A and B are shown apart, each in its own frame.
Chain A
Amino acid sequence: MSNQDEFTADLLQGTLDLLVLKALAAQPLHGLGVSTRINQITKGTFDVKPGSLFPALHRMEEAGWLKAEWGESENNRRAKFYSLTKAGRRQLETETEDWQRISLAIGSALRAT
């Protein structure tokens, strides 16, 4: 349930999507891999729990941004690996641009006196 992960619950809608897309940009990852990678690239700020992660992964797969395949983990466990599709890469680009525009705008708004 979502209240198990207070921090991500407060994330803006779409922010989680952007982080997931970014995490998968370098290589295909399984669920735990995605959550570990997000933790790394945000320097421990975001700790995405399964209750939020899996719905997001499945939603993005249905949207056609991700592709899922069963594979072997580093220590030979069966795991489902997610990778970006072409649409997913395009989505990552658009969302990155959008995010930068928004963060610039918010930043200048906050600096204004």
Chain B
Amino acid sequence: MSLFSKGESLLRNTIRKGQTDRDLSEEVGSYVELLTEKKMKEGMSEKEARHAAMVEVGGVEQVKEEVRAGRTGFALETFFQDLRYGLRSLRKKPGFTLTAVIALALGIGANSAIFSVINGVLLRSLAYRDADSIVMVWEKNFQRGRSQNSVSPANFLDWKKQSTSFEQFAASWDTRVNLTSGGEPEEIQVQRVSADFFSVLGVPPRLGRSFVREEDVAGGSVAVILSDELWQSRFGGNPTIVGQPITASGRTLTVVGVMPPGFHFLNTQVKAWIPLALDPANDWRKQGRYLRSVARLKSGVTVQQAQAELDGIAKRLEQDYPDYNKGWGANLVPMHEQIVGDIRPVLLVLLAAVAFVLLIACANVANLLLSRAASRQKELALRAALGAGRTRLIRQMLTESVLLAIMGGALGVFLAYWGIQLLLALAPDNIPRLNEITIDPRVLIFTLAISLLTGLIFGLVPALQSSRPDLSDALKEGARGSTGGSRLFRNLFVVAEMALALVLLVGAGLMLRSFFQLHQVKTGFDTDHVLTMRVQLPMAKYQQPAQRAEFFKRAQERLAALPGVKFVGAISYLPLTGLASSTVFNLATQPDLPPNESPATEVRAITPGYFAAMGIPLLKGRSFDEHDGADSRVLVINETLARKYFPSENPIGQRLIVNWEPKVADEIVGVVGDVKETALAEEANPAIYWPHPREAYQFMNFVLRSAIDPATLSAAAVKEIHALDPAQPVADIRTLDQVVAKSIARPRFNALLLAIFAGVALVLASVGIYGVMNYSATQRTQEIGIRMALGAKPGDILRLVVGQGMKLTLAGIAIGVIASLALTRVMTNLLFGVTATDLPTFVAVSAILTTGALVANYIPARRATRLNPVIALRYE
């Protein structure tokens, strides 16, 4: 066919459609006339001839439809026709349309929101250049159950020197400084990094340069690189900042660069970078492991190859330095895995949850469509009689359902937008890459794709069901009574909805229970009415340990004198804040074991009054007082250490040698109760406490137990610190309740999200079963009327209708329980203090769902009992 004639036909068929159609009608009409005449000539009566002609033609409209189907542009024309028709019929039933669109929007919106999180956190590549070649290098020690332990500077230097797999090899550690330039004194987190750090990550500064090797040596000139945030907030985005000096912790640093916005390495709170300046001449094997090392693989080298090389190096180091390295190896973790590794299971569980919500929404809308199709039977029969083939009817119905789904999807994108805002507001700040979550084109494509798919899924069964109406019945009788097939499907959908909702509720129930278990864990201290705050002295100003001890002593005296304060104390590392210090120790009565075989303990420095302020009970002996000075040789241990190492003797008066400078024997003077140091979910470790003057840390966390609302104390407390030193910043002012809450923010977030989704699922499923039961009760109006006329009491009717719905509900719950038992196993690692097959959760959740279904069944059943039998019998 020539292009010209094709174009002409398309033009004629679409633009002059009316004309073409009239033409066709006339042509087929004339055919019938001619045929009738021919048959009359052959001897039939006019009536017989006309009838025979009609039979032979087989339906004028069908013939016309066949002709149309063969025309150019037919598909397009049909599509627009279906679209117009679909829009019209959706507009005619606004209640139905609104219900369906809202159900779909909830399902699709939840999916888009969670997908945008997955997209931002898991799928989008990291903000580093060629991030797939970046690996974290940790130390590992299987005996101690550590796979990602901080790295010793000595081992870092040896790995770097001896390995050939890496282009660059860098190390960092996080610390804090007091920034006094550019405004009020402020304690900020900084990262000390080796010179290669920025080239490992492949991110150049937006202004100035990164560190050069000469700056990364002990005693070198002191350079600093600012984060974009710090540059904007403290230095007003000054474009000439490079080369200028700033003062931090009493030292003068020269700004050499500013990093681009959003740049960070494992810690989003870091505001500046300072050279690490490790001195290779130092004997680092006298010190602990505290670095994080990160390296860039040479191109062509795989993680496995690099791991194999480091295994060999670590083995040699183990042999060369058995005291320090026995049992220790190297462990490579790809950067992406490092950042998202522990959030991935949570996100996948959430994705499964929202997929379930969407499936429930689909089942709901499919049921709505089935009910509606019953009332549309007459219309569909008419269309079929007018020549629409079955495919055409199915296509029409699918166009409508896809249209619904796309409307739902469009609304869903808005819901997702708000959902993401809510998510970000609720999310704990230790979820990685939160700032990268947005609705980007990938999320939009995902939404469009699931909308189309959804439309096809929920539209298919209703379309297949209702596209084969029994023409004569449907036209004759009026739309009464649905076919057995569609009732079966409706029931199946209800069962499926119930089962899906149950699985979701079980998941949410387990998370909630697990969270409450976590919440009830005994911390070992009393969080009620306690304010905490952190004070870090600048080393340059307080070089002498005695100065630091004096400062904290005087500060504590001033704070204790504040009205409303009952007890005050301070500790180097506050429990549950992540940071901590630990080492190994020996009993003085035991031979001096090498470090790698000695038991480990947490190490804390405290001021007198700390235990009272925290509410930690003193079990034996005494606590510290002002007489325990810099040269005191006493310590307090916790219950776990006492139980483990002095199981049968009195620990008081026993002596420990802690691997810490100076290495001397200390006498145990007291035993206190255990506290949760690292996390609520973890068992307490052995711990020792020293009086602060003996180990005069430059930073301490004050703990104020008060008789009044602790939050009202903060201004006065800061004023007392400033009275001692106006340039001294005070950081992390919060209540002890907030500290604990923050430590379990992530499980709370998981539980909250799953609970929201499960709630949506419960509502959707209840609405779904209500819709079906309501419809079925309406369908049975006449039957119910007969029963009542024959003497059935309202109670019987109630039982009849509710019983039918509850049978479906219970079937759904049974299937849901079986599915849950199989599916919740994947959540095992996310749970605490509750198993994935927790019986109380299963029972409670089944009860909730049954109650919801009962209410949904009761309303239509109740309505049925109020029928007037006379009216019911006449009901059409």
A contact set with B: CB distance below 8 Å: 1-2, 4, 30-32, 36, 49-52, 54-56, 58-59, 62-64, 73, 75, 77-80
Residue B753 at the chain A interface, CB threshold 8 Å: no
Whole-angstrom distance between the Cβ of B639 and the nearest chain A Cβ: 88
Q: Mark B28-64, 1 if CB is under 8 A from A, else 0.
A: 1011011101100000000000000000111100111
* Interface contact B56-A55, CB-CB below 8 Å: no
For this complex, 6 residue pairs linking A to B, each with C-beta atoms less than 8 Å apart, are A1-B66, A52-B66, A54-B27, A54-B31, A55-B66, A62-B1
In the complex, what residues of B have CB within 8 A of residue A73's CB?
A: 30, 34
Given A30-B30, A51-B62, A63-B1 in contact, is the A58-B37 Cβ separation under 8 Å?
A: no
In the complex, B26 has a CB within 8 A of chain A: yes
In the bound assembly, the distance between CA atoms of A49 and B71 in angstroms comes to 19
Q: What are the 3 closest A-B residue pairs judged by CB atoms, nearest first? A: A55-B70, A64-B5, A4-B58
Give the residue among B2, B67, B69, B71 with the most A Cβ atoms within 10 A: B67
Chain B residues within an 8 Å CB radius of A75: 37
Which residues of the partner chain A approach B66 to less than 8 Å between Cβ atoms? 1-2, 51-52, 54-55
Identify whether the interface residues of A are mostly helix, strand, loop, or mixed.
helix
User: Is B288 in contact with chain A by the CB < 8 A criterion?
Assistant: no
- The answer to whether A32 touches B56, judged by C-beta atoms less than 8 angstroms apart, is no
Is there an interface contact between A51 and B69, defined as CB atoms closer than 8 Å?
no
For B33, give the chain A residue with the smallest CB separation: A77
- Name B57's contact: one of A2, A50, A78 (CB within 8 Å): A50
What distance in Å separates the Cβ of B492 from its nearest Cβ neighbour in chain A?
A: 32
| Cβ contacts under 8 Å, A63 to chain B | 1, 5
Residues from chain B with a CB closer than 8 A to the CB of A77 are 30, 33-34, 37
Determine if B38 and A32 form an interchain contact, defined as CB atoms under 8 angstroms apart.
yes
Check B58–A50 contact: CB distance below 8 A. Answer: yes
Report the bound CA distance from A62 to B8 in whole Å. 9
Residues of B within 8 A of A32 (CB): 31, 34-35, 38
Residues on the B chain within 8 Å of A49, using CB: 56-58
In the bound complex, do residue A50 and residue B70 qualify as a contact, i.e. CB atoms below 8 Å apart? no
Q: What 6 new A-B contacts, CB under 8 Å, besides A31-B30, A54-B27, A79-B27?
A: A49-B57, A52-B66, A55-B69, A58-B24, A63-B5, A80-B23
Tell me whether B69 and A78 are in contact (CB under 8 A). Answer: no
User: Which interface residue of A30, A31, A54 has the most chain B CB atoms within 10 A?
Assistant: A54
Query: Mostly helix, strand, loop or mixed at chain B's interface?
Result: helix
Partner of A31, one of B23, B31, B38: B31
B63 touches A54 (CB 8 A): yes
Residue of A with least CB distance to B5: A64
Q: Does B524 touch A at the CB level, under 8 Å?
A: no
Is A30 within 8 A of B1, CB to CB? no
Complex Cα distance, B283 from A36, in Å, reads 110
Bound Cα distance from A64 to B5, whole angstroms: 7
Contact (Cβ within 8 A) B30 A62: no
Report A9 CB to chain B, min CB distance, Å.
12
CB-CB nearest in chain B for A79: B30
**Smallest distance from the beta carbon of A77 to chain B beta carbons, Å?**
6
What separation, in Å, do the CA atoms of A51 and B58 have in the docked complex? 8
> Closest Cβ of chain B: how far from A107's Cβ, in Å?
32
Confirm or deny: B6 has a beta carbon within 8 angstroms of a beta carbon on chain A: yes
Least CB separation from B31: chain A residue = A31
- Answer whether residue B523 sits at the interface, using C-beta atoms and an 8 A cutoff: no
Minimum C-beta distance from A91 to chain B (A): 11
Decide if B6 touches A62 in the complex (CB within 8 Å).
yes
Say yes or no: A58 contacts B71, CB within 8 Å: yes
| B389, CB-defined interface residue at 8 Å | yes
| Minimum Cβ distance to chain B for residue A62 (Å) | 4
Cross-chain contact B67 with A55 (CB below 8 angstroms): yes
**Are B67's CB and A58's CB within 8 A?**
yes
A21 to chain B, nearest CB (A): 15
In the bound complex, residues from chain B placing their C-beta under 8 Å from that of A51 are 57-58, 62-63, 66
Tell me, in angstroms, the Cα distance from A6 to B5 when the chains sit together. 32
Please measure, in the bound complex, the distance between the C-alpha atom of A78 and the C-alpha atom of B1, giving whole angstroms: 29
Q: How far is the CA of A54 from the CA of B33 in the complex (A)?
A: 15
A51 to B63: give the CA distance in the assembly, Å: 5
**Whole-angstrom CA separation of A56 from B23 in the bound complex:** 16
Which A residues are CB-close (under 8 A) to B23? 80
Which residues of B lie under 8 Å from residue A52 when comparing CB positions? 66
- List A contacts of B38 (CB < 8 A): 32, 36
Contacts of A50 in B (CB 8 A): 28, 31, 56-58, 63
Chain B residues positioned under 8 Å from A64 (CB to CB): 1-2, 5
Asked if A62 and B9 make an inter-chain contact with CB atoms under 8 angstroms apart, the answer reads: yes
Q: Is the CB of B5 within 8 A of A62?
A: yes
Residues of B within 8 A of A56 (CB): 70
Residues of B with C-beta under 8 A to A54 = 24, 27-28, 31, 63-64, 66-67
Q: Chain B residues near A55 (CB, 8 Å)? A: 66-67, 69-70
Residues of B within 8 A of A79 (CB): 27, 30-31, 34
Chain B residues, CB < 8 A from A31: 27, 30-31, 34
Q: Is B72 interfacial (CB-CB < 8 Å)?
A: yes
A13–B33 alpha-carbon span in the complex (Å): 29
A59 to B68, CA, bound (A): 10
The residue on A at minimum CB distance from B38 is A32
Contact residues in A for B1 (Cβ distance below 8 Å): 62-64
Query: How far, in angstroms, from A36 to B70 measured CA to CA in the complex?
Result: 23
Interface residues of B in 2-34 (CB under 8 A from A): 2, 5-6, 9, 23-24, 26-28, 30-31, 33-34
In Å, the complex CA distance between A4 and B58 comes to: 7
**A residues near B31, Cβ cutoff 8 Å:** 30-32, 50, 54, 79
A62 CB contacts on chain B under 8 angstroms? 1, 5-6, 9, 71-72
Contacts of A80 in B (CB 8 A): 23, 26-27, 30
Query: Nearest-CB distance from B138 to chain A (Å)?
Result: 70
Chain A residues with CB under 8 Å of B63's CB are 50-51, 54
Q: Which chain A positions have C-beta within 8 A of B24?
A: 54, 58
CB distance from A41 to the nearest CB of B (A): 17
Residues of A close to B69: CB separation below 8 A: 55
A62 to B24, CA, bound (A): 14
Note all chain B residues with C-beta closer than 8 A to A58: 24, 67, 70-71
Chain A residues with CB below 8 A from B6, complex form = 62
Instruction: Identify which of residues 740-774 in chain B touch chain A, using a CB-to-CB cut-off of 8 Å.
Output: none
Residue on B with the closest CB to A56? B70
B194 to chain A, nearest CB (A): 76
Q: How far is the CA of A2 from the CA of B30 in the complex (A)?
A: 21
* A78 with B62, Cβ < 8 A, contacts A62-B9, A63-B1 known: no
Within 8 A of A (CB), among B186-208: none
Complex CA–CA separation, A55 to B24 (angstroms):
11
Residue of A at shortest CB range from B13? Answer: A62
Q: How near does chain B come to A55, taking the closest CB pair, in angstroms?
A: 4
Set of chain A residues within 8 Å of B26, measured between Cβ atoms: 78, 80
A63: nearest chain-B partner, CB-CB: B1
Separation in Å of the A17 CB from the closest CB of chain B? Answer: 12
CB of B702, distance to nearest CB on chain A (Å): 89
Q: Answer whether A1 and B389 are a contact pair too, CB < 8 Å, given A54-B28, A55-B69, A77-B33.
A: yes
Q: How far is the CB of B72 from chain A (nearest CB, A)?
A: 6
Given A1-B58, A32-B35, A73-B34 in contact, is the A59-B28 Cβ separation under 8 Å?
A: no
Q: Which chain B residues in 55-97 approach chain A with CB under 8 Å?
A: 56-59, 62-64, 66-67, 69-72
Alpha-carbon separation in the docked complex, A103 to B95 (Å): 64
Return B748 CB to nearest CB of chain A, in Å.
Answer: 64
Nearest Cβ distance between residue B57 and chain A, in whole angstroms? 5
Q: Considering the chains assembled together, what is the distance between the CA atoms of A78 and B29 in angstroms? A: 10
Convert B663-707 into 0s and 1s, putting 1 for each residue whose CB lies closer than 8 angstroms to a CB of A: 000000000000000000000000000000000000000000000
